[in-house]
Amino acid sequence: MKQKLLNNTYLSMLCSELAMLLDAGLTVSDSLQILQEDEPTKEGKAIMQSIIERLEMGDPFSMALQKTGHYPRYMVHMVEIGEKTGRGVETLKALSEYYDRQVRLSATIKSSVMYPAILLILMIVVVLILIVQVLPIFNDVFSRLGTQMSPLAVSLMNFGSWLGDASIVIAAILCAIFILAILAWALPGLRKGFTKIFSNKWGNSGIFGKIASSRFVFAMTLAMASGLDMEEAIGIASNVSGGSKAVDKKHSQCADMLRAGKTLSEALCGTGILSLQDGKMLSIGSRSGKADEAMSEIARRSDINVRDAIDRVVGRIEPTLVILSSVVVGVILLSVMLPLMGIMTSIG
């Protein structure tokens, strides 16, 4: 049975704490024993104990992580590279920053989506109440006055009546969607399938394309800081940030351009992963022997660009929903109130 992977928040803290202990001169086994004592959960203590036991059996740290089944493949691979290059502490610090960034990015996306979603739901609820509950009341008032509502109001009322008649079917469809969403969240295989379909359709466009490029650049930063050559670094970064056919094609083209003798900045700019401005910075960094620092700065800028792009989209969605809901509600009310005012005026 496949083990549940640890979340990014935990991984970021673990890598940071482990890097501090190793930097202080402790061995991996001693460091893990200290971390195990401070673990708040039985599950966490058990995972730490299993790693310690494998280390005592002679397994490398990366292999011990892999055999638990709780750590992502990317982390295991990067720890293995850190062991081979003798840059374990630097790799763990970079991993801590990487997973912390993933947490912040996920939080930004969730918070950005939540408010517009709530606005949309409220708008739908208000409109449904008007056409299902309020319009029939006004229809009775008009009938008693010997007239009828405007054609638009009558059409909306009939639509509301149809919704009421089909409420059982609609409720069943909504329940099926809800159950499917729960299953997608609970079953990794199904969730992965939905994610792949979504990525293939929208993963290389708009904000999602920016997010994919940002993840690629940050993974490249980590790989370069671990002392990997460019082609291997691109391979690792592709595994982390890929997923859609268009994005994977970019990464493959980038690797091909490197093998053809292009510089890293030329390959990344030529495939559209980096902008010309970022490519210029990387080119200067490569010439000065500070390509990893340049890539780190590009990753920081990329993170800011993603957040700004999300804020811009949300900034357009919120007023659009408010204006749309105001217009819809206003049209419904005016379609009823204007004829009623005309009747009251004639009576007066």
Neighbours of 43 (CB within 10 A): 12
Residues, the chain, total? 348
Q: What's the pLDDT at 125? A: 85
49 Cβ neighbours under 8 A, 6+ residues apart: 36
Q: What's the pLDDT at 262? A: 87
The answer, as to whether pTM is greater than 0.75, is no
Q: Which portions of the chain are predicted below pLDDT 50? A: 1
Q: What's the pLDDT at 165? A: 78
Distance CA 342, CA 348 (A): 10
Q: What's the pLDDT at 109? A: 76
Closest CA to 240 of 80, 98, 97: 98
Angstrom distances, CA of residue 161 to CA of 139, 166, 175, 200: 12, 9, 21, 40
Closest CA to 223 of 234, 208, 207, 212: 234
